[in-house]
Amino acid sequence: MNEKLRVLFLCTGNSCRSQMAEGWARHLKSDVIEPFSAGIEKHGLNPDAVAVMAETGVDISGHRSKTISELAGVTFDYVVTVCGDAHETCPMFPGKARIVHVGFDDPPRLAKTTRSKEEALGHYRRVRDEIRTFVETLPDSLNDREWRATTVPED
């Protein structure tokens, strides 16, 4: 029996994209992936991300925003950075962790320029669906050269 891959979805504030990715991975891939999410810093769980995930039957309301340091001691097989800031400031992960960058638009930033709540939620829904499409390809796509995975050297 193969062990599940430990995958960390990393974003700046662990409030939206990384939370949605963890939710999708738990919902769709829990047989092969043990998902985690964290941020470079904590921004709190975004209620609009919770709402649009609930629309699909995925409940992330019990998640909490956390930093990488709160996952100390967990050895990851993959770290998937889901935003540019996390990719640029991604810390080193010792061991066999491979860093994979798959950037998604930032729904809260996009929502700031909208005229209605429904228009704002449209950005969240689009990104939610793009993240789902990516998660559906896991774990096979993690080895795809197109994602430009890099191995982090051991100490």
Q: Is 16 a catalytic residue?
A: no
Catalytic residue, chosen from 5, 28, 58, 90, is: 90
**Distance (Å, whole) CA 29 – CA 25:** 5
**Distance (Å, whole) CA 84 – CA 90:** 10
Catalytic residue, chosen from 7, 11, 79, 82, is: 11
* Secondary structure (DSSP) of 51-103: HHHHTTT---TT----BGGGGTTPPPSEEEE-SHHHHHTPPP--TT-EEEE--
Catalytic residue, chosen from 83, 97, 102, 138, is: 83
Q: Is 11 a catalytic residue?
A: yes
**Distance (Å, whole) CA 62 – CA 98:** 28
Positions marked active-site: 11, 83, 90
